[in-house]
Structure 1
Amino acid sequence: MQRQLFIYGSGKHTVPFLDYMTKATGKQKSNLCFIPTASGDDEGYIERFHEVCDQLEVHAHVLRVWVNSYDDKETFTTIINQMDAIVVGGGNTLNMLAIWHAQGIDKALRNAYENGVVMGGGSAGSLCWFNGGTTDSRPAELSIVKGMRFIDKSHCPHYNSEKSRRPLYHSNILNGDLTDGYACDDRSALHFINEKVVKSVSLDADNHSYYVHAENGHIIEDLIPGDIIG
């Protein structure tokens, strides 16, 4: 069973990226589920997801965590297990992961990933799958957050759009607070199969993805060549 992950730098929904995810499932009309936990199940964000899905051949679903249990007849695990692909939105990574752990959603996602469900997302929805990265989930400044380690590398979203992201990511790798890892500009994405990069894509020629690592006390950014799908 192939384990697949598709991540991009920004949490904004786009037709090309969600279309790529659904096609990766191999299904003609896949069940695609949006998990907006990091944004507090923001209704505007959910509405935008449905607007994008209206342009795709998918069955659109949303997994909300801000619910009363007696209103829902299915568990979070049951919903996740019915999906072909799951996209996680942006927002507060730290709070999202805490809620997932308390609700057992992290374990359900791990099991689904191992069973071939395509996982992905942007911003918090890309950072969560790796071993760690920097986040604005805490007040005052960017800080380090640990992820779920589906891929045992670090990750940096918003690589080209937030000025502090790139230098801080470099600094954390150099001082050993983060491992080597992958960085994505806002409109660039990486597709992993069995924890290995198999394809890089972007929405335009100005956005890219990189493998970032330290060598002899210096940061090396290896550009991962990709195709434009926007």
Structure 2
Amino acid sequence: MRIFLLIVLFFVYNITTGQDISSSDKKLFVYGGQVNKEFIKYTAQLTGKKRPKVCFLPTATGDNERYMNFWYQLCSDLDIEPHVLKVWINSYRQKKSFEEILSSMDAIIVGGGNTLNMLAIWKAQKIDLALEKAYEKGIVLAGGSAGSLCWFNGGTTDSRPKELSIVKGLSFLNYSHCPHYNSEESRRPLYHDNILKGILSDGYACDDKSGILFVNGKAKSALSIDNESNSYYVYRKEGKIVEEKIDSEIIK
């Protein structure tokens, strides 16, 4: 009888909450292109908070003023509390550490730009360690372009002169990654070639307007802004590349 009651209570709980992701789960949402209102809204929803504090990191563009203004414009009519973490600061004006600021947020979104320079700055300032602690704490992480590539073990980047090259990420997600999968002709074949040669591990690719939610390090679901944008799992099998399109939910 006791077991039966426990089963009933478990069933009722899941029906009433409508959730299969708990607040203690580690959530990371990546998308192929630049930050947009739809994906900001979705990231905020992942926090489960009524008016979440969402912090934007424009490190990859050198704390570009126009990019930060664009962020605040996107957030102006959303039910969130927007913040920006700048790295070009001085200790006279900023009295809180980067870790203190990031750990007080409900979600963190990383913008696009130069991935290599961004990761170097994060390492020098120990922001990479602060982000890892935030992730372990259950703070939602997200981002697109450089802001998606950084979370994986590696991928191709345009951060160096002359041609696309390989960059190592933070490895919060133990896969390779390719952003801008549909917008730059050289990205897709180069990604395939690097996986075939074993330079990159199997991984995930996202069109500019498509993204993937990872929960506890595993792909949970895909979301897209339109019917033309998709996300893919790309892997090597018997010496050939397999590209599996992930069914996406269209969000507005």
Write out per-residue CA displacement over residues 108-164 of structure 1, whole angstroms, 9 at most, x where no aligned residue.
Answer: 000000100000100000000000000000000000000000010000000000110
**After the TM superposition, which residues 52-131 of structure 1 pair with which residues of structure 2 at under 5 Å, given as runs?**
52-131=74-153
Is residue 50 of structure 1 aligned with residue 72 of structure 2?
A: yes
Structure 1 residue runs of 5 or longer lacking an equivalent are: none
* Cα deviation, residue 69, structure 1: 2.0
Is residue 38 of structure 1 aligned with residue 50 of structure 2?
A: no
Structure 2 SS opposite 1:222: strand
Given that residues 88 and 122 in structure 1 are in contact (C-alpha distance below 8 angstroms), is that contact kept between their aligned partners in structure 2? Answer: yes
User: Structure 2: how far apart are the matches of 1:161 and 1:75?
Assistant: 37
Aligned-residue RMSD, C-alpha:
0.6
The two structures have a TM-score, normalised by structure 1, of 0.98
* Cα deviation, residue 71, structure 1: 1.4
Q: Which residue of 2 aligns with 1:9?
A: 32
Q: Which residue of 1 aligns with 2:202?
A: 180
Write out per-residue CA displacement over residues 36-81 of structure 1, whole angstroms, 9 at most, x where no aligned residue.
Answer: 0000001111111101111211110000001122211111111001
* Cα deviation, residue 17, structure 1: 0.4
The higher radius of gyration belongs to 2
User: Structure 2: how far apart are the matches of 1:48 and 1:198?
Assistant: 29
**Residue identity in the other structure for 2:38:** P
Structure 2 residue runs of 5 or longer lacking an equivalent are: 1-23
User: Structure 2: how far apart are the matches of 1:161 and 1:69?
Assistant: 41
User: Structure 1: how far apart are the matches of 2:91 and 2:193?
Assistant: 44
Given that residues 15 and 55 in structure 1 are in contact (C-alpha distance below 8 angstroms), is that contact kept between their aligned partners in structure 2? Answer: no
**Residue identity in the other structure for 1:5:** L
Higher relative contact order (CA 8 A, sep 6+): 1
Q: Which residue of 1 aligns with 2:8?
A: none
Q: Which residue of 2 aligns with 1:205?
A: 227
Q: Structure 1 residues 151-160 or 63-72, which shifts more?
A: 63-72
% same residue: 57
User: Structure 2: how far apart are the matches of 1:146 and 1:125?
Assistant: 13
Match of 1:189 among 207, 211, 216: 211
